[in-house]
Structure 1
Amino acid sequence: MALRPSAAANGTDKQGSTAISHGSQEKQKQLLASDTGHFSMIKALHLADLITELNGFCGFMSIISSMRYCLGPPDAYAPIWAALAFMPFGLFFDFMDGKVARWRKKSSLMGQELDSLADLISFGVSPAACAFALGLRSAIDTLLLSFFVLCGLTRLARFNVTVSALPKDATGKSKYFEGTPIPTSLAIVAGMAWCVSQGTVNGGEHGVLGGTLGQGILEFHPIVGIFVGWGCAMVSKSIHIPKP
């Protein structure tokens, strides 16, 4: 989750850049509130915002690829590899939008909101959809995957509310993330990629992601506990991750 360089988000103390940001934001407010003119919302977007949209695009394409895998034969792994690959590309665009915004010295009122929404798709919904495609499909599995996604949603909402109140360093950036950032779910994605390479996925010769416990409606895969733990870490207030 990359911080976008707005005065509120980064707490900049340089009066010149703050004035530029304020003027840019006022112009964007007028474009968004305008009742006339074609594509006024598109005109209000900055280059960094368009890069953020590419993050969301990667997340959506990952979800579609997971769905393709569910529809195809279980030994056709190309769609699931595509699903796994799109998520790191989303992280690339998540880093680039902040760099481009700082390079152009333009802040965006929509930037932080777009960033959070795109992160939810790419690093919350996409990993959960991929896990479902790979075999975590029981009723309890899906319930716990939903818990993971909702934790990501809650963590991003809290970030947007509290980012201006977090302690800042000399450059005006927040000193730490409260709770693990949602892009860290790519560690789970790496684990799923390893499972695909080993054939321990739905339809694989070695079973489904470590096997199941329980029967009937109570059946679940113990490995889904990783998603539960990661979700709890995202919404934790006691975990402080220093920013690089």
Structure 2
Amino acid sequence: MSPEDEEPKIYLLPNLMTAGNLLCGFLAILTIFKGMQEESLLAAMPSYQTAMLYIFGSCLFDLLDGRLARMGGQESPFGQEFDSLADMVSFGLAPALLVSRAVLADLEVVTPFDPEGSGITWAFAFIYLLCGGIRLARFNCLARIGKGGRDFRGIPIPMAAGFVASLTFIIIKFHEEQRTLGWGAYVLAAMILGISLLMVSNVRYPSFKKIDLKTKANVWTLLGTAVLLGLIMNFKVYAPAVIFVFYLLIPVFRWFKKGKKVGELES
């Protein structure tokens, strides 16, 4: 085997999309750091809002790189590893910072070791980051031995990051209206812990890998998509969170549908 054959194959267009993913993640982290310099969450909101847009941009690039690679038959080990590294920055580190500085900003658990009560938010952020890293490593291992399957094992990290970003939108809205979360802060902490554990769970989530330019749709699908886009435009603050929660609950819908079919067969 010649040295040229041993070199990893680097396809331009898919990896260019991955580079765009990484760039958006990097810019998101920079803007979050800028917001952290402000004296209050209200003053940091413009920076955090910009960071959320960068994270959503990373989601778009992440969606495109895989689609382009599969459509052009350009999937490669290099692209897979590069994609995971970019995901760790864009969907691991950047959302983890948002968890600590924005989503759980109202969570305070004062202890003798942490008089200001801010350390607990970093703990939740690290749990999210750790679970995201494990999720990506497991995905690569399963893909390498050909056990990826049609569904994801555990919620994919881009969806988890989108959920965190959508929660940040709601938190910012509450603070703009000078409303306090109260016990809602502990509910958010439980949600962050839950989304972290779901990433490393064996719960099956649809991958939508088969959807491409050749995928056919009926009239109801087109109508539903149009209505969904309309709702997003009219309810910009809450619609993204509702969409991500719906994706989170897909395994529940599947379980209910499967149980209903079993009941019909038994009857």
User: d(CA) in 2 for partners of 1:163 and 1:84?
Assistant: 29
Percent of aligned positions that are identical: 28
SS of equivalent to 1:57: helix
Q: What is the TM-score with the length of structure 1 in the denominator?
A: 0.69
User: d(CA) in 2 for partners of 1:101 and 1:162?
Assistant: 19
Matched AA of 1:161: C
Match of 1:84 in 2: 52
Following superposition, the deviation at residue 227 of structure 1 comes to 1.5
Matches within 5 A, 1:65-144: 65-74=31-40, 75-76=42-43, 77-134=45-102, 135=105, 138-144=118-124
SS of equivalent to 1:127: helix
User: d(CA) in 1 for partners of 2:15 and 2:26?
Assistant: 17
Q: How many positions carry a matched residue from both structures? A: 192
SS of equivalent to 2:152: strand
Larger RCO of the pair (alpha carbons < 8 Å, separation 6+): 1
Following superposition, the deviation at residue 27 of structure 1 comes to 4.7
1:128–1:167 Cα change, 3 Å: closer
1:211–1:64 Cα change, 3 Å: farther
User: d(CA) in 2 for partners of 1:28 and 1:105?
Assistant: 18
Match of 1:36 in 2: none
Match of 2:142 in 1: 162
Match of 2:239 in 1: none
Following superposition, the deviation at residue 54 of structure 1 comes to 1.1
Does the CA-based 8 Å contact 1:63-1:126 persist in structure 2?
A: yes
- Give the gaps of 5 or more residues in structure 1: 1-25, 33-42, 169-173, 214-219
User: d(CA) in 1 for partners of 2:5 and 2:38?
Assistant: 45
Match of 1:62 in 2: 28
Does the CA-based 8 Å contact 1:59-1:122 persist in structure 2?
A: yes
Matched AA of 1:52: T
Following superposition, the deviation at residue 68 of structure 1 comes to 0.8
User: d(CA) in 2 for partners of 1:28 and 1:66?
Assistant: 42
Match of 1:11 in 2: none
User: d(CA) in 1 for partners of 2:65 and 2:101?
Assistant: 30
Match of 2:151 in 1: 176
Following superposition, the deviation at residue 162 of structure 1 comes to 0.9
User: d(CA) in 2 for partners of 1:132 and 1:84?
Assistant: 14
Per-residue CA deviation, residues 194-232 of structure 1 (Å, 9 max, x unaligned), is 1112217xxx8334xx3479xxxxxx9552222211111
Over the aligned positions, Cα root-mean-square deviation in angstroms equals: 2.8
User: d(CA) in 2 for partners of 1:121 and 1:241?
Assistant: 22
Does the CA-based 8 Å contact 2:84-2:136 persist in structure 1?
A: yes
SS of equivalent to 1:163: helix
Match of 1:21 in 2: none
Following superposition, the deviation at residue 58 of structure 1 comes to 0.9
Match of 1:236 in 2: 201
Does the CA-based 8 Å contact 1:67-1:133 persist in structure 2?
A: no
Following superposition, the deviation at residue 166 of structure 1 comes to 5.6
1:233–1:94 Cα change, 3 Å: same
Matched AA of 1:189: A
Following superposition, the deviation at residue 109 of structure 1 comes to 2.5
Which deviates further from its counterpart, 133-142 or 112-121?
133-142
User: d(CA) in 1 for partners of 2:133 and 2:144?
Assistant: 19
SS of equivalent to 1:140: helix
Does the CA-based 8 Å contact 2:11-2:74 persist in structure 1?
A: no
Instruction: Identify, as 1 or 2, the structure richer in helix.
Output: 2
Does the CA-based 8 Å contact 1:46-1:108 persist in structure 2?
A: no
